[in-house]
């Protein structure tokens, strides 16, 4: 025995010897036997997303971290995918990973959110994302028909929700209902509801409902978490048929409520909104008819009064005829007076022009003492003395008459 106890321990033949594989298997068996199934609470960090078939991340608290893995076959069963910063509870088995380095980890089967605040944080993050993309815009909202030919309802076939809706619709205005049976809580709910939306949209035009109601009773935020799913929200947005969201969740609002064409507080509210009440509808129609009849009667009555007033202002035919004759006489007199004035002016102008012509006439010349002489034989004017022959018979014209003459001597 030496003084060095450590050396003594190493030299002790009673210390068992293991191969690497043997010791890792021993440790793994111990971990899995001791911690076959556990819940571990912590904050997600280093999440790998969808880079690999499996999802890797770590859970941490103020002092330590532990590795975590979600295997490929477990991913479809998750209510949500892990995100950095979320406070969660992971349920699974503790095991050792020895392929590359020796470490222990949790093989996760399920994840749940630790606290309502974390769920609200996730919901708000998704809400902002979809709002930016425009999925909530009112311009995309489709009108709900007043009286649908058929109503599609996606909900659980058991429980009071569907029974109450069927009763209300039957009592108010009996319209055919096509029920798509769906789970409305838990892991399977999202797939079921999306399948229902796709089912109704794929129907032939004569079988397709005019409106879809997605209905569920009330519950906690965890119970209603499926209605905050991004894939479901996009399916509601892409539906060609108007969708009413009727989740009994007052006063909370789920993501599906923002996307739906109409959101109502409860399934009963949706049943009352989707069809009118027959009595109320008949009363409305009767009131509309009465209003139409009264308005029509008032309209024609007012028109008749205006027409009577116009006729009362019209003068009698004989008065109108006398007035027309009087007007015509005035016009005629005015025309005749104008015509007289015109002809007087024309006459004066003509006389003036004639006077100008008369000034230069041969009559006025003769009046001034002149005469003219013609040869009586050929009635030609004689302008020179040399043209007058002896014994020629002449006619001498004065202003006041003509005389015959015979020249005696040139």
Domains belonging to the chain, first-starting first, are: 5-114 (2.40.50.140), 122-276 (3.40.50.261), 364-405 (no CATH)
Query: Which pLDDT score, from 0 to 100, does residue 332 have?
Result: 74
189 or 382: which carries more pLDDT confidence? 189
Lateral strand order in the sheet of 243-247: 177-181, 151-155, 211-216, 243-247, 262-264
> Under a CB-based contact definition with an 8 Å cutoff, are residues 91 and 110 in contact?
yes
Per-residue pLDDT reduced to its tens digit, 150-190: 999 999 998 889 999 999 999 998 899 999 999 998 768 99
- Summary mean pLDDT of the chain: 82
pLDDT band at 409 (very low <50, low <70, confident <90, very high): low
Per-residue pLDDT reduced to its tens digit, 291-309: 888 888 888 888 888 877 7
> Under a CB-based contact definition with an 8 Å cutoff, are residues 192 and 229 in contact?
no
Cα 45 to Cα 10: distance, rounded to the nearest angstrom: 41
367 or 211: which carries more pLDDT confidence? 211
Backbone angles phi, psi at 409, to 5 degrees: -160, 135
The candidate with the shortest Cα–Cα distance to 270, out of 215, 219, 232, 223, is: 215
**Residues in a beta bridge with 92:** 38, 108
Peptide bond into 82 cis (omega under 30): no
How would you label 84-101 residue by residue, b for 16+ Cβ within 10 Å and e otherwise?
eebbbebebebbbebeee
Lateral strand order in the sheet of 401-405: 372-375, 394-398, 401-405
Residue 323: CB partners within 8 Å, gap ≥ 6? Answer: 315
Per-residue pLDDT reduced to its tens digit, 10-55: 555 677 777 877 877 877 788 777 777 889 999 888 876 656 688 8
pTM of the model: 0.57
CA distance readout (Å), 33 to 27, 29, 69, 95: 10, 6, 19, 10
Cα 293 to Cα 155: distance, rounded to the nearest angstrom: 45
3-state secondary structure of 38: strand
> Under a CB-based contact definition with an 8 Å cutoff, are residues 44 and 88 in contact?
yes
Count CA atoms closer than 13 A to 377's CA, side-chain side. Answer: 7
Q: Alpha helix (H) ranges present in 314-409?
A: 317-359, 362-367
3-state secondary structure of 91: strand
Q: Alpha helix (H) ranges present in 72-181?
A: 116-133, 160-172
For the chain, how many residues are written? 410
């Amino acid at each position: 025995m030496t003084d060095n106890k450590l050396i003594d321990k190493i030299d002790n033949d009673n210390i068992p010897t293991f191969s690497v594989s043997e010791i890792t298997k021993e440790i793994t068996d111990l971990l899995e036997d001791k911690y076959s199934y556990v819940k571990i609470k912590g904050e997600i960090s280093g999440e790998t997303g969808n880079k690999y078939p499996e999802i890797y991340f770590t859970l941490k608290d103020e002092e330590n971290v532990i590795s975590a893995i979600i295997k490929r076959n477990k991913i479809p069963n998750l209510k949500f995918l892990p995100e950095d910063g979320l406070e969660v509870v992971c349920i699974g088995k503790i095991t050792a990973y020895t392929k590359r380095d020796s470490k222990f980890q949790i093989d996760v089967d399920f994840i749940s959110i630790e606290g309502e605040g974390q769920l609200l944080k996730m919901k708000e993050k998704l809400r902002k994302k979809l709002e930016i993309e425009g999925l909530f815009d009112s311009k995309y909202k489709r009108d709900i028909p007043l009286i649908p030919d058929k109503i599609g309802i996606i909900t659980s076939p058991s429980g009071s929700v569907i029974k109450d809706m069927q009763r209300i619709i039957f009592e108010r205005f009996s319209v055919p209902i096509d029920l798509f049976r769906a789970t409305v809580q838990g892991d399977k709910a999202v797939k079921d509801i999306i399948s229902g939306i796709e089912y109704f949209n794929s129907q032939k035009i004569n079988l397709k409902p005019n409106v879809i109601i997605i209905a569920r009773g009330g519950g906690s935020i965890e119970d209603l978490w499926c209605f905050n799913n991004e894939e479901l929200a996009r399916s509601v947005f892409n539906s060609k048929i108007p969708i009413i969201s009727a989740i009994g969740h007052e006063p909370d609002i789920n993501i599906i409520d923002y996307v739906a064409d109409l959101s109502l507080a409860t399934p009963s509210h949706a049943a009352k909104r989707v069809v009118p009440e027959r009595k109320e509808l008949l009363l409305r129609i009767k009131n509309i008819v009465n209003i139409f009849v009264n308005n029509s009667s008032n309209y024609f009555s007012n028109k008749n009064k205006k027409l009577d007033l116009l006729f009362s202002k019209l003068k009698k035919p004989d008065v109108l005829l006398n007035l027309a004759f009087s007007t015509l006489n005035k016009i005629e007199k005015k025309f005749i007076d104008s015509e007289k004035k015109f002809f007087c002016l024309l006459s004066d102008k003509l006389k003036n022009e004639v006077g100008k012509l008369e000034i230069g006439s041969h009559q006025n010349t003769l009046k001034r003492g002149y005469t003219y002489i013609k040869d009586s034989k050929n009635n030609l004017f004689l302008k020179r003395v040399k043209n007058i022959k002896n014994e020629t018979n002449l006619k001498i014209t004065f202003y006041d008459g003509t005389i015959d003459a015979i020249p005696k001597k040139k």
